[in-house]
Amino acid sequence: MKSFKHTMKYAGQAFNKVYCFNKPIVWLSIFTSLVLAFQSNVNIFFSKWIVDQLSTKNLYWLLGGIVLFILFQTTRLLIESYSTLKIRRMQMSFSVHCENELVNLVAKTELVNKEHPQYTGDFSYWSFINSKYMDSYTTLTQLIKQCLIASISLTYLLYSHLYIGLLALCVGVLKGIYDLQAVRQRVTINEQLTRQSRGYFYYFDLLTSSQTQKEITVFQLVSYFRQKWMSKKDEANTLSMQLEKLNLKRQASGELLSIISSGVVIVITALLIIKGNLTIGDYVAITMALSMTEGNITMMFVSMARLAENAAHLERIHEIETNVHAATQESRQIMPKPFSFQDKLEIRNLTFRYPNREEPALMNISGEIRKGEMIAILGGNGSGKSTLIKLLVGLYLSERDSIFYDGVCVHELDRVDMWNKTSVVFQDFIKYMTDVRDNIAVGNVAEVNNTDKLYSALEKVGLSNAFKNGLETKLGMLEDNAVNLSGGQWQRLALSRVFISDNHELVVFDEPTSALDPVGEVSIMNEILDHCHGKTVLMVSHRVGIARRADRIFVMDGGRLVESGKHEDLLNINGLYHEMWYQQKQWYD
């Protein structure tokens, strides 16, 4: 009973979600289900009537029955076709609605959770279960239709012959119960399959994507990664076969019961016809009603099993939505304050640990950044530079009382307002496969139609004459006439995003010139520094030459801020910065 209530609870929620989305179409689908249920049983009556008239050779009533049958079937066809078209259109619209909700769910999830390796599997599962709302709604409407058909046809069987009706009822129930027993197992296998798919999809994409072919070809990696792909595919196929065997076993057992019951009914009806208690038309009607009763009672259990399976999935997405909503509400308990950076940014004993790691990524970092300063952040790979940047711009949330803008803790600030006043060029910036206009305007989409400003930004990064069709040039791989850029050109395009906003108070660069040639690097950096004059600039880099232009330098190592100061001061203390400076200087001596 508890399981039934649980199933109907989530089935009801799914129905209500679809009903609120499009009430008229839901009513249309219910009406159509009623018509189809009625039509299925009327077919039994028409079949009996026509066969009986053939037996008695009553041509007049035979033709009348056939005409009525054709009219009824035509009406049913028109209603069903119209309803199917409308319902299909609603399903497509509802699918977009659910995908929008999924996008919103992802947007509300904290970045640190989205960067967790588990997130890829979670998202695949979220995408899978997001379709279960419509599936549960459709299954519930089917269940209503099945109940009506089974009730009417069973009543006819019980009226015709009590034992035949009871036999149909028992067989349908037995087949249905057997199907219910496999629900949880199917849910588990489906979830495992969904998670398993990311592995073989990744390796298949690695083997076939145009982006990977350089290394795959030159290192002759096809055989190596093909083995990995086939291994993952075999694991997924094993799970698929488990599911297939489970379904076949259930189906075969049900069919065997149906065959036995059909044989028994044929014997009973044959004897009754011989005795003159039933007509040939009754035989046709009883066998049709038997099939409909058994089939629909079984399908009622199948529908309940499907609803129970979907309920398990919907309960999971409900938990996820609740947790994300709770986290969002917790962050909104205090009215956020507008972001302002007019004085200084303070870092006090900042420690940060990723969810999937025991050791801290950052440990006890303290420092101060004044408004208008250019700070260079240097350090080796894994020293914590990018993590620190993400914390300072609010992409990750630190422990409370660790990061302050003008004395206000970052937890109390309106992070959307902060991002509106912050410009960031990440090391792994996105190469948008749209057009040049979009690739610049993502830095401030309000300027997407400001053609003069966009061309000015292109000019500052040396790309003013690089595109045959100007801002409308298609980029990437999505269209046949698209242009694919070099790594340096993509980076210049990413840097152009800085020049289309004038009101940013904080500008952050994470390895901004790693793909540029030396001459281009100097030219673009001069343009950037001129544009950012008076703004606070955080520059993450491996190159100590850039650091010399900074007001101050932060040197990081092993998640700690080990040195801080001006270029000359850090050289004089003969520490890590001194070592980095002279190691890189040797390349030019």
pLDDT of 377 above 90:
yes
Q: Taking a C-beta distance cutoff of 8 angstroms, is the pair 125, 194 a contact?
A: yes
Smallest CA-to-CA distance from 371 within 196, 538, 567 is with 538
Q: Are strands 408-409 and 403-405 parallel, antiparallel or unpaired?
A: antiparallel
Q: Taking a C-beta distance cutoff of 8 angstroms, is the pair 365, 350 a contact?
A: yes
pLDDT at residue 356, as a whole number: 76
- H helices of 109-221, in order, are 111-114, 118-130, 132-160, 162-180, 183-208, 213-218
Q: Is 284 strand, coil or helix?
A: helix
- Please count the other Cβ atoms lying within 10 Å of the Cβ belonging to residue 375: 22
pLDDT tens-digit readout, 475-496: 887 788 888 888 888 888 989 9
pLDDT of 517 above 80:
no
- When pLDDT is cut at 50, 70 and 90, the band that residue 118 belongs to is confident
pLDDT tens-digit readout, 144-197: 888 888 888 888 888 877 887 788 888 778 877 777 676 667 777 877 887 777
Which H helix or E strand runs over 180?
helix 162-180
The residues spanned by each domain of the chain are: 2-331, 430-502
- H helices of 363-425, in order, are 385-392, 415-420
pLDDT tens-digit readout, 242-281: 888 888 877 777 778 777 777 777 777 777 777 777 777 7
Task: Considering only the C-alpha atoms of the chain, give the largest distance between any 2 of them, rounded to a whole number of Å.
Answer: 117
Which H helix or E strand runs over 244?
helix 222-274
Q: Taking a C-beta distance cutoff of 8 angstroms, is the pair 32, 80 a contact?
A: yes
- When pLDDT is cut at 50, 70 and 90, the band that residue 123 belongs to is confident
Confidence (pTM)? 0.70
Q: Which fold has domain 2-331?
A: ABC transporter transmembrane region fold (1.20.1560)
CA angle 420–425–427, rounded 5-degree value:
145
Residue 343 carries which side chain, given as an amino acid letter? Answer: D
pLDDT at residue 205, as a whole number: 85
